[in-house]
Amino acid sequence: MMKIQQLAAESVAIVLSGKNLTLVLQALWRQNPLLQSQQRGAIQDIVYGVLRYLGQLEVILNQLVKQPLSDKKLRNLLLVSLYQLYYSESPEYAVVDCAVATTRKLIKNKGAAGLVNAILRNFLRNDTSLLNLANAHEVGRFSHPQWWIDKLRYQYPQQYEAILQANNRHPPMTLRVNRRKTSVADYQTLLSQYKIESRQVWDNALMLFKPVPTQKLPMFEQGYVSIQDAGAQLAAPFLDVSDGMIVLDACAAPGGKSTHLMEAANIQLTVLDNDQYRLGRVSENFKRLGIEPFRQVCGDAALPSSWWSGKLFDRILADVPCSASGVVSRHPDIKWLRRITDLPMFLNMQQNILDALWPLLKSEGKLLYATCSVFIEENCQQVKCFLEKHSDARLLPIVHGEVNNGQLIPNCFHDGFYYALFYKV
């Protein structure tokens, strides 16, 4: 357990210094190739958990120390240990003993090990009162930065607590059934034969009762299903493609929506992204499903002159870069790394992409604007701004039981998304 604690604490430190959680863990696996799958799983669970409940853990830790801890290694190790003591099934004595031993190994200060032992045992004696104290602070209760809490409370006064709570849940594992190869009912039956329970969320989306490794999904490599959040699966139906259409998926990587569009109809698809490495992942997804995009291009969606062939599109999907405030349950690092000052950058990027793509759309064509955000600046306010600038744009209604004015609020079944469908007159 010592190695797990140490690597988890180091990973938390790297993420909080400003690094993407997914990339940090990928680098960790490369640097430690001898780690067993069980160890990787334990480290990943701890790192995700600490970031998920960081606000609460920090408030508790601040109550347990008389003065701020200047040693970041010590602080991160304590955060990891507190998470293990409260949220994991590891024996309490083992967590404390390993934390003390890890401290002796990593920190030269002779008194550090005794301090760690005292802090963790103090927590075990007073955990209920400490948790109550954490809940008295909004950052401790919701484990989000205060600015994020304030923004959601202002924008969603009736729903902000539910959104914050959804962000701290473990996300579901949801499959998209490839209707070209099987039906939802038939694949659900196949899952049952493998003792994998599921429920249909809507359309082609099957949510598993318990996540399973990809390699345990029947017929996955044969392209029968893809892993995709139920909210993300709404994009293709909303865009309303049909056979023979010329379609652009801008900002396409990693390709979940692109492949869904190709499953929906026989279209001539251009897959665009500005990251060549991420485009490689798109190609892998298409290959597994046994389909090929019409054209795959590395380029900037805001600069069509560098990649556009000059042929107008019947449909355009603009799944634009955003704050990702709707997918925090899958990426808990986002809420701690994102700054309120980042929003103007995203807003400018979104406006540039929309303005650049609109001339590429045929008359009577449709453009679907999509974000994985719940912040209204990136969503309905952005749409209002676009309509004011483009007299030939009309906003079409999106009819779906859980989508309110284009906004899908995150909950235990899906992430948060926003969709706006424009029609060109």
Query: Of 322, 372, 380, 412, which residue is the catalytic one?
Result: 372
Q: HSE-up of 366 (CA within 13 Å, CB side)?
A: 18
What span, in angstroms and rounded, lies between the C-alpha atoms of 219 and 27? 30
Task: State how far the Cα of 330 lies from the Cα of 394, in Å rounded to an integer.
Answer: 34
Contact of 106 with 77, CB cutoff 8 Å: yes
What is the token pair recorded at 130?
């400490």
- The residue behind tokens 């484990």 is 143
Place of tokens 């696996």: 29
Give residue for tokens 């701290």. Answer: 168
Residue 188: closest CA among 178, 198, 173: 198
What would the DSSP string read from start to end of 114-154?
HHHHHHHHHHHHSHHHHHHHHHTSHHHHH-S-HHHHHHHHH
Asked if residue 173 lies in contact with residue 207, where contact means CB atoms within 8 angstroms, the answer is: yes
Is 185 buried (19+), middle (13-18) or exposed (0-12) by CB count in 10 A?
Answer: exposed
Q: Residue with structure tokens 């999509």? A: 370
| All residues at 6 or more sequence positions from 329 whose CB lies less than 8 Å from its CB, including other chains | 166, 167, 168, 169, 170, 171, 410, 415
400: left (phi over 0), alpha (psi -120 to 50) or beta: beta
Verify whether residue 372 is a known catalytic residue.
yes
Q: Where are the beta strands (DSSP E) in 372-416?
A: 393-396, 403-404, 407-408
Distance (Å) of CA 268 to CA 240, 287, 327, 375: 14, 17, 30, 33
- Give 294's contacts (C-beta < 8 A, 6+ positions apart): 267, 268, 269, 270
List active site positions.
Answer: 372
